[in-house]
Chain A
Amino acid sequence: MENKEIMTGQMLTRICEISRLKLNEKESESIKKDCNSILSYFSQIQKISQDKVSNTNHVFGSNVSDLRKDEVNSFQNVTDIRSQFAYVGPNGLMKAPKNL
């Protein structure tokens, strides 16, 4: 199998920085080699014809059951808003009510 350099050393350094991971030199070499072999093998996915195919949102192709419906109320003033919270501290901090 041909291993193209998809993950370069520079790219790996950047990805590690974003991922908050520090690799030593040995680890870095080995992971770079593995990533290239894995991505090279998985690049077969780019050959599938996917015109007009939507992304999968859920394996059942429908919505999940029993999500709580949003209830939107209009509030006239700050007192009404504050009254919706389970706890309002003396410093103005508010604790949101439990959903479940």
Chain B
Amino acid sequence: MNSYTQNALDEVKKLGAKKRVETFLAKIKEHDSQVGSFIEVYDNWALEQATKIDEKISKSIPLGIMGGLVVAVKNNVSIKGKRLTCGSKMLENYISPYNSTAIQRIIEEDGIVIGSVNLDEFCCGSDCLKSALKVTSNPLDLSRVAGGSSGGSSAAMTAGFCDLTLSEDTGGSIRCPASFCGVSGIHPTYGTVSRYGVSDMAMTFDQLGPIAADSLGNAILLDAISGFDEYDSTTFNSKKTNYVSSLNKLPDTLKIGIAKQFFVGCDNEVEKSIRKTITDLSKNNPKIVFEEFDFPLIENALPIYYLLVFSEFASAMQKFDGLRFGNKWNENDGTDLASIVSAVRSKSFGTEVKRRIILGTYITTKEHQDAWLTKALQARKLLVDEFDKIFNQYDLLVGPTMPMVAWKKGELSSDGLQMYLADVLTVPANCAGLPAGTVNVGNCPTNKMPIGFQVIGNRGSDELVLQFMSAIEKISPAYPFKPVF
């Protein structure tokens, strides 16, 4: 059976790109008022791009890696001439003056950009309820959250509004929503994809990546966007990847680790489903050895991650002052510079953003930085070193992506800490810059919501992570869910 993405590629040639874009646009028009995934739909531009693809097909000009697939883009990635809101009132009317490198590459490789999708304000959230512009619902159960911060991306995928989405993951913003909506996604090794043109949240953690229906979709988008970029000095200067061609070349022999701590606080049904998948994988691949091990330091990943993100985030937000960047000030905002800046920031940022700025400022003040910031930087080094030792023993680590399935809106306390605790399984990979993917492995028997299986690799082993995700799809076919409409 062909994968969802393979069918989409075949359809481009059979039906034509324009026809497919028209179908997506009609679907978005009919159903997105229920889901709330799109911030802006680029009807005319998408049709123009599709027409160019059809012309190439008619002239037998080979298509680029993207092959005419339709992409929705998280709205913290710059697209020239389009609004870049970051889900915030602060940037509600800001127009991008240039294309991010990733968008430029998608266009050059014959991808079609159909629109921008919702996110928690400046990526601060795990449910996509913290966007100042709209609420995004889970298309599988509209009373539940779509996950975050890339909730608009995962919801658009599950609703069938596009073929792929370009998303961004700082501490699980790709994997959490992909897991909650029953699709797949990958946070690549830090430095694989250029961050040029991406609004920064925490620059030592942020990384662009795909959310797709299956591993083939992830591999295609990653092939298109990865690689060295002179505009981002943290990108690797390595030769061009080819994740697609290696997708089905999983090595016969692998040793895979399962940290005992991955199941601490995990819902029973989630644990059962993950353990069943591991058993099934063992049966199908007898030379793959799974082994449980103890990883106590991982319990500190959450404070390491959040303390460092708070400090980097507070710094990144400083530029929004209502003068040069962000909502412009008006005469009612005050008469002196300090009052004007405070007034603009206070009325334009949401509560979660303010909370993070305050915490980031607190831990970076001279009298508190030794107790918090320095400790977190040192602990991050310990965690990175520990991961290095672990990957000397294991090829991959596996476990649940999220400790629970998508919760009902309003079910989780809004005090911040409860929300942060939900990220406990995704943030370790970001702390060490490791590639980590999620793939759907079924649903919870009681509420039918999807469960995500996480695969974490050593730095630079994105290819192996994708190969393993593809192997999981063979026993648990991807994209089995249907939206409610």
Chain A residues near B237 (CB, 8 Å)?
65-66
Decide yes or no: A45 and B304 within 8 Å by CB, A12-B358, A21-B358, A59-B190 being known contacts: yes
A78 close to B (CB within 8 Å): no
B362 close to A (CB within 8 Å): yes
| Bound CA span A36–B442, Å | 38
Across the interface, do A34 and B345 meet the contact criterion of CB distance under 8 Å? no
Across the interface, do A34 and B379 meet the contact criterion of CB distance under 8 Å? no
Chain B residues near A43 (CB, 8 Å)?
303
Across the interface, do B351 and A48 meet the contact criterion of CB distance under 8 Å? no
B375 close to A (CB within 8 Å): yes
Across the interface, do A54 and B361 meet the contact criterion of CB distance under 8 Å? no
Shortest Cβ gap from B156 to chain A (Å) = 30
Within 8 A of B (CB), among A17-44: 18-23, 27, 30-31, 33-35, 37-39, 41-44
> What is the chain B residue whose CB lies nearest that of A55?
B377
Chain B 212-239 interface 0/1 with A at a Cβ cutoff of 8 Å (1 = within): 0000000000000000101101111100
Across the interface, do B361 and A15 meet the contact criterion of CB distance under 8 Å? yes
> What is the chain B residue whose CB lies nearest that of A61?
B384
| Bound CA span A59–B432, Å | 6
Chain B residues near A60 (CB, 8 Å)?
190-191, 433, 459
Decide yes or no: A53 and B304 within 8 Å by CB, A59-B204, A64-B234 being known contacts: no
Chain B 289-313 interface 0/1 with A at a Cβ cutoff of 8 Å (1 = within): 0000000000110111011000000
| Bound CA span A56–B305, Å | 12
Decide yes or no: A27 and B351 within 8 Å by CB, A34-B416, A39-B359 being known contacts: yes
Best-surrounded residue of A39, A41, A50, A100 (most CB of chain B within 10 A): A39
Chain A residues near B362 (CB, 8 Å)?
7, 11, 15, 35, 39
A72 close to B (CB within 8 Å): no
Across the interface, do A31 and B355 meet the contact criterion of CB distance under 8 Å? yes
Chain B residues near A21 (CB, 8 Å)?
342, 345-346, 349, 354, 357-358
| Bound CA span A46–B379, Å | 9
B420 close to A (CB within 8 Å): yes
B422 close to A (CB within 8 Å): no
B328 close to A (CB within 8 Å): no
Chain B residues near A19 (CB, 8 Å)?
314, 345, 357-358, 361
A16 close to B (CB within 8 Å): yes
B444 close to A (CB within 8 Å): no
Q: Range of interface residues on chain B?
A: 35 or more
Decide yes or no: A23 and B346 within 8 Å by CB, A34-B415, A56-B384, A67-B233 being known contacts: yes
Across the interface, do A45 and B307 meet the contact criterion of CB distance under 8 Å? yes
B69 close to A (CB within 8 Å): no
B61 close to A (CB within 8 Å): no
Across the interface, do B231 and A100 meet the contact criterion of CB distance under 8 Å? yes
Across the interface, do A20 and B379 meet the contact criterion of CB distance under 8 Å? no
| Bound CA span A16–B349, Å | 13
Chain B residues near A23 (CB, 8 Å)?
346, 354
B1 close to A (CB within 8 Å): no
Chain A 55-77 interface 0/1 with B at a Cβ cutoff of 8 Å (1 = within): 11011110011110000000000
Decide yes or no: A31 and B377 within 8 Å by CB, A19-B357, A21-B346, A66-B237 being known contacts: no
Beyond A42-B307, A65-B237, list 18 extra A-B contacts (CB 8 Å): A20-B321, A21-B342, A21-B354, A27-B354, A31-B354, A34-B417, A35-B358, A41-B303, A44-B299, A45-B303, A45-B307, A53-B382, A54-B381, A56-B377, A56-B384, A59-B204, A61-B384, A64-B191
Q: Closest 3 CB pairs between A and B?
A: A59-B433, A55-B377, A42-B303
22 contacts between A and B (CB under 8 A): A16-B358, A19-B345, A19-B357, A19-B361, A20-B341, A21-B354, A22-B343, A35-B359, A35-B362, A37-B417, A38-B306, A38-B420, A42-B306, A43-B303, A45-B307, A50-B375, A50-B379, A54-B381, A55-B374, A56-B378, A59-B204, A59-B431
